[in-house]
């Protein structure tokens, strides 16, 4: 029985590799999980004592500036664009650093967050897009407001927030 499965599998692979490239891509996309790619900006003050957070509708918790990549955009460009759109802060790509880890893979929701860090003076005026953002504000790292679960989980990877002491959060 195992020998028969092996032969069928080998035949399937030989057939697959003979198909035109576009057919192979379509087959792979049909059977492989797809992931949505987004970018997140962790923005702190130069003294690293404050964190910029956003409150979005419905306003149940605070989150980070973030969004989905547009076609043809790099993750760092997405992080800069989302930061500008959501807060009015103009941070050039050169001032963004890839966080470590840079990619957080959410297998249960099938999305990947590419995470970048930068520092900004808290005195700069924040201009929110009222359609998307209820409020943007700086918060002390030792006194963070209630955050969304996904934001709390993501920040734990960087030793920030209420879940930073829970290693099981990083494994999920």
The β-bridge relationship of strands 36-44 and 66-68 is antiparallel
* pLDDT tens profile 72-108: 999 999 999 999 999 999 999 999 999 999 999 877 7
Which of the pair, 147 or 28, is modelled with greater confidence?
A: 147
Residue 32 pLDDT: 73
Q: DSSP letters along 58-97, please? A: T-SSEE-SEEEPPTT--HHHHHHHHHHHHH-----GGG-E
Beta partners for residue 104, in sequence order: 113
Q: Where in the chain do CATH 3.90.79.10 domains reside? A: 36-171
CATH number of 36-171: 3.90.79.10
Helix (H) or strand (E) holding 5: helix 2-18
Query: Model's pTM, two decimal places?
Result: 0.80
DSSP conformation class of 112: E
Task: Please state, as a whole number, how many other Cβ atoms lie within 10 Å of the Cβ of residue 53.
Answer: 22
């Amino acid at each position: 029985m195992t020998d028969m499965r092996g032969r069928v599998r080998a035949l399937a692979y030989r057939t697959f590799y003979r198909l035109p490239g576009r057919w192979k891509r379509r087959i792979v996309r049909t059977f492989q999980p797809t992931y949505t790619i987004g970018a997140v900006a962790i923005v702190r003050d130069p003294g690293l004592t404050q964190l910029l957070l956003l409150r979005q509708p419905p306003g149940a918790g605070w989150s980070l500036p973030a969004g989905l990549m547009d076609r043809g955009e790099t993750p760092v460009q997405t992080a800069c664009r989302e930061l500008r759109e959501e807060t009015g802060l103009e941070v050039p790509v050169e001032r963004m650093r890839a966080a470590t880890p840079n990619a957080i893979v959410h297998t249960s929701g099938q999305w990947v967050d590419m995470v970048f860090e930068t520092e900004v003076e808290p005195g700069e005026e924040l201009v929110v897009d009222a359609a998307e953002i209820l409020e943007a504000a700086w918060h002390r790292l030792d006194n963070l407001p209630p955050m969304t679960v996904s934001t709390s989980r993501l920040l734990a990877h960087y030793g920030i927030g209420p879940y930073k002491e829970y290693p099981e959060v990083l494994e999920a």
